[in-house]
Amino acid sequence: MFPFMAQGHIIPFLALAFQLIKTNKYTITFVNTHKNINKLRSSLPPNSSFNLLEIPFNSSDHNLPPDTENTDSVPYNMVPNLIEATLSFKPHFSKLVSGLVSEENGQRKPLCIITGMFFGWCAEIAQEFGVFHAIFIGGGGFGFACYYSLWMNLPHRNNTDSDGFFLLPDFPEASRLHVTQLTDYLRVADHGNDAFSVVLKKVLSPWKNVDGILINTVEELDNIGLMYFRREIGRQVWPIGPVLLSTGSQARAGKELGISQDVCKNWLDSKPCSSVLYVSFGSQNTIAPSQMMELALALEASGKDFIWVVRPPVGFDINSEFKADEYLPEGFEERIKISRQGLVVHNWAPQVDILSDKSVSAFLSHCGWNSVLEALSHGVPIIGWPMAAEQFYNVKLLEEKIGVCVEVARGKSCQVKHKEIVKIIELVMDETEKGKEMKRKACEIKETIENAIKDEVNNKGSSTKAMDEFFNAALTMRESTIG
Ligand code: UDP
User: In a 3-state reduction of DSSP, which class is residue 159?
Assistant: helix
Distance 372 CA to ligand 1 centre (A): 10
For residue 375, the CA-to-ligand 1 centroid distance in Å is: 11
In the chain, the amino acid numbered 130 is: G
What architecture is domain 258-449?
3-Layer(aba) Sandwich (3.40)
Amino acid at 430: D
What topology does CATH give the domain 7-242+456-482? Rossmann fold (3.40.50)
Question: Is 374 close to ligand 1, i.e. is its CB under 6 Å away?
Answer: yes
Question: Where, residue-wise, is CATH 3.40.50.2000 in the chain?
Answer: 7-242+456-482, 258-449
- Per-residue model confidence as pLDDT tens digits over 42-55: 878 777 778 999 99
Give rounded-to-5 percent helix, strand, coil for the chain: 50, 15, 35
**Any atom of ligand 1 within 6 Å of the Cβ of 282:** yes
Q: Cα–Cα distance between 398 and 401 in angstroms, integer? A: 6
What ipTM is given for this predicted complex?
0.99
> How large is the average pLDDT for residues 438-453?
98
Query: C-alpha distances in angstroms, 449 versus 44, 457, 479?
Result: 28, 18, 33
pLDDT in tens, 287-298: 999 999 999 999
* Cβ of 140 less than 6 Å from ligand 1: no
Count of residues for the chain? 483
The yes-or-no verdict on residue 120 having pLDDT over 90 is yes
Q: Measuring CA to CA, which residue among 111, 50, 56 is closest to residue 89?
A: 56
- CA–CA gap between residue 356 and residue 80 (Å, rounded): 37
Q: Is the pLDDT of residue 104 over 60?
A: no
Identify which of 76, 371, 374 to mutate to test ligand 1's pocket (most ligand atoms within 8 A of the CB). Answer: 371
pTM: 0.94
Which of 283, 285, 348, 374 most suits a substitution to test ligand 1, by most atoms within 8 Å of the C-beta? 283
The pLDDT value given to residue 10: 93
Residue 284 Cβ contacting ligand 1 at under 6 Å? yes
pLDDT over 90 at 196, yes or no: no
Cβ(70) to ligand 1 under 6 A? no
* Least confident piece of the model among 291-295, 305-309, 312-316, 361-365: 312-316
* Integer Cα distance of 373 and 242 in angstroms: 6
What is the Å distance from ligand 1's center to 310 Cα?
Answer: 13
Question: Is 237 in contact with 463 (CB distance < 8 Å)?
Answer: no
Q: Which atom of ligand 1 approaches the CA of 351 most closely?
A: 7
pLDDT digit string, tens, across residues 227-258:
999 999 999 999 999 999 876 665 545 567 88
* Dist. CA 216 → ligand 1 center (Å): 15
Residue 370 CB–ligand 1 contact under 6 Å: yes
Cα of 316 from ligand 1 centre, angstroms = 20
Q: How far apart are CA 104 and CA 96, in angstroms?
A: 13
Atom of ligand 1 nearest to the CA of 387: 25
Q: What average pLDDT score do residues 19-24 get?
A: 90
User: Going by CA atoms, what residue is nearest to atom 5 of ligand 1?
Assistant: 282
Ligand 1 atom closest to Cα of 388? 25
Q: How far is the CA of 252 from the centre of ligand 1 (A)?
A: 14
pLDDT of residue 106: 52
pLDDT tens digit sequence for 62-94: 999 999 999 888 887 888 999 999 999 999 999
Q: What is the pLDDT of residue 457?
A: 87
CA-nearest residue for atom 7, ligand 1, is: 351
Q: Which residues of 123-144 are buried (b: 16+ CB within 10 A; e: fewer)?
A: bebbeebebbbbbbbbbbbbbb
